[in-house]
Amino acid sequence: MELLQKIGSVLLTAYSVLIAYRVVFFLAGFFTKAKIYPPARKDHTYGIVIAARNEERVIGKLLDSIALQDYDPSLLRVFVVADNCTDGTARICREKGAVVYERHDPVKARKGWALEWLFEQIRRDYGIESVDAYLFFDADNLLARDFVTQINRAFDQGGDMAVGYRNTKNFDTNFISAAYGIHFYEATMTMHRPRAFFRQSTHIAGTGYAMSSRLLRDGWHWTCLTEDTQLCLSGVAKGVKIDFCEAAEFFDEQPYSVGVMLRQRLRWAKGRLACFFLLFPKLLRGIFTCRERRFSCYDLFFYILPYSLISALISIVYTVAMFVSRLLTAQAPLAVLAAPFAAVPGLLSALAVSWLGTVAEGAAVVLRERRHIRCGTGRLILYVLLWPFFTLTGVPVSIVSLFMRVRWKPIRHDRDVSLAELETAGR
């Protein structure tokens, strides 16, 4: 047992040293300003890609926000894959001028497969490289009026991909939607912004990003439960540059029920674990061979490393082994059986410390990102105090995902707020 404790201590120390750069990231994300890209030398052509399943409540508002862009509309073409839809999604999209492809394949009902099929249709009818790049959105998104103009500035710098600033359009629904919002604001402050400041690649998270058509020359081939993670990790390992454009703001609807939250996070956990085992060898190799992206490979390796899950499993195994060992060798077995109950106060104390630390981090995040948050101060303070619930449930959710067969299921979106309403709420 002492040997196991020493090994665990050494591993923890080594891990802490290897990710010490994140302290610098945190400080840079809090104190530095957004990276500003110069005006683009060229207005590039974009194909706007939307994968939708039964999204008639919200997709019209997304298309309206695209029509309101201060970008030459002749340079934009909207492609929608209505994936296994049973409502009016396809009709609404056609009425608003989108190119719509209806797909019916209940066996391969997943966003990654839908995009794979969509790009086969685009190749056949238009040619994948008929546009300079593609912009990817979910049906519940809304785009700030200058989103395309701003993302074009970043893309025009010669990078392969660029991701915009993810805001939350229903932050103040309840503490769950607020927790999601803080989660994504935290990603901006502690990952996207510092990576941009240090000129490193960042990651994408499902939506709101531009991708060079050159990278899609052979079609879309990222089809796992978290196709976004698979895409960005495999790309960076090959030297792809993913820029962060903070001025390109878009809005996302977040879940607001515990059931939907747990279901989505189970999928995230399962998908990220699969991506880790699939891609960590390439990231490790990239650290030594990808001259331009060595640190990005290093950074994203630790981004995807399931350290919390590994630590939790080791702790569980160690605790069980120690308990069984003491029980078998003890002269007073009843005293050993009572030991776990004696440890409860210590566990509660550790949980309280972790909760307070997470609250402090959340407070720093909302303080830095406050101008983007559409929520009153009193409720915002309450949501920050409750935010650790979202963070601390990540480990048990990850453990459960190991033993469950997780399937991709659509999340119902019903917050049909318009861009004008969001702009008014933000004043």
Q: Write the CB contacts of 195 (distance below 8 Å, at least 6 apart in sequence).
A: 25, 201, 202, 244, 296, 299
Query: DSSP readout, 386-408?
Result: HTHHHHHTHHHHHHHHHTS----
**Token couple for 316:** 């569980």
Q: How far is CA 231 from the centre of its chain?
A: 12
pTM of the model: 0.91
Q: pLDDT in tens for each of the 427 residues of the chain?
A: 566 667 777 878 888 899 999 999 999 999 999 999 999 999 999 999 999 999 999 999 999 999 999 999 999 999 999 999 999 999 999 999 999 999 999 989 899 999 999 999 999 999 999 999 999 999 999 999 999 999 999 999 988 999 999 999 999 999 999 999 999 999 999 999 999 999 999 999 989 999 999 999 999 999 999 999 999 999 999 999 999 999 999 999 999 999 999 999 999 999 999 999 999 999 999 999 877 789 999 999 999 998 888 777 777 776 676 666 665 665 555 554 555 555 567 667 878 888 899 999 999 999 999 999 999 999 999 999 999 999 888 888 888 888 888 887 778 888 788 888 888 876 5
pLDDT reported for residue 96: 96
pLDDT reported for residue 423: 84
Domain spans, the chain: 21-304
pLDDT reported for residue 342: 57
What does the longest C-alpha to C-alpha distance in the chain come to?
83
Total residue length of the chain: 427
What residue type is 369 in one-letter code? E
Query: DSSP readout, 96-151?
Result: TT-EEEEE--STT-SHHHHHHHHHHHHHHHT-GGGSSEEEEEETT-EE-TTHHHHH
Closest residue by Cα to residue 416 from 53, 170, 89: 170
Edge-first strand order for the sheet with 142-143 is 99-103, 76-83, 46-52, 133-138, 209-212, 161-168, 242-252, 142-143
pLDDT reported for residue 416: 82
Measured CA to CA, the distance from residue 269 to residue 312 in angstroms comes to 14
Topology of domain 21-304, CATH: Spore Coat Polysaccharide Biosynthesis Protein SpsA; Chain A (3.90.550)
Closest residue by Cα to residue 151 from 169, 140, 138, 135: 135
What residue type is 385 in one-letter code? L
